[in-house]
Amino acid sequence: MENKKPIQWGWEKGNPSNMRSKEHQAFLIKEYNKNRLEKDHVKDMAELNRALLTNEVKYLGMRSVTITERRVYHKVAKITIELPKDLPIGDTEEWLDNNKAKWEQSLDNKFNDATLDYGLGFNNPSCDGMNESMADRETRYDVNGEMYGGHV
């Protein structure tokens, strides 16, 4: 239900004409706080008056705005390495973890030549199985000729 009652300015109740009603004070504070960070909110009329004098009056002329944009790009690099013939397929991830020296630098070198593509890369066919949206890096292995893989 909509409130049809007008804002009480204060003089209706016999108060001095320079005093605002509680409702009008709340309205002014709410309007000032709108679209401001929580740390910049004012809580009462004294804070509002100080904020207006400090922050608003100095911008009587032109204001400036800083526009910030974050763009996400990704690179994909692939290398193929040999696994020991007697390694059980279920031990592949552990072997890769324990033998990073055999493949990590080669992969880093591939990144130097990889192209920079816009976005997270989830729609990139080269990134099949990569779905860690909150990670800033994701490394995956797929055993060639097998339907087996995972994350390192």
| Parent domain of 106 | 73-151
Task: Look at residue 99 in the predicted model and tell me its pLDDT.
Answer: 95
- My answer on whether 78 and 53 are in the same domain is no
- My answer on whether 111 and 146 are in the same domain is yes
- My answer on whether 92 and 28 are in the same domain is no
Confidence label for 101 from pLDDT (cuts 50, 70 and 90): very high
Q: What is the pLDDT of residues 54-93, one digit of tens each?
A: 876 666 667 677 787 878 888 999 999 999 999 999 999 9
> How far, CA to CA in Å, does 133 sit from each of 2, 72, 122, 128, 140?
44, 12, 9, 13, 14
Task: Look at residue 17 in the predicted model and tell me its pLDDT.
Answer: 56
The contacts of residue 27 (CB under 8 Å, 6+ apart) are 7
114 within domain boundaries: yes
For residues 100 and 81, give the distance between their C-alpha atoms in angstroms, rounded to a whole number: 11
Q: Report the chain's mean pLDDT, rounded to a whole number.
A: 83
- My answer on whether 130 and 94 are in the same domain is yes
- My answer on whether 78 and 47 are in the same domain is no
- My answer on whether 48 and 113 are in the same domain is no
Task: Look at residue 77 in the predicted model and tell me its pLDDT.
Answer: 93
4 within domain boundaries: no
Number of domains in the chain: 2
- My answer on whether 90 and 147 are in the same domain is yes
Task: Look at residue 59 in the predicted model and tell me its pLDDT.
Answer: 64
93 within domain boundaries: yes
45 within domain boundaries: yes
Confidence label for 3 from pLDDT (cuts 50, 70 and 90): low
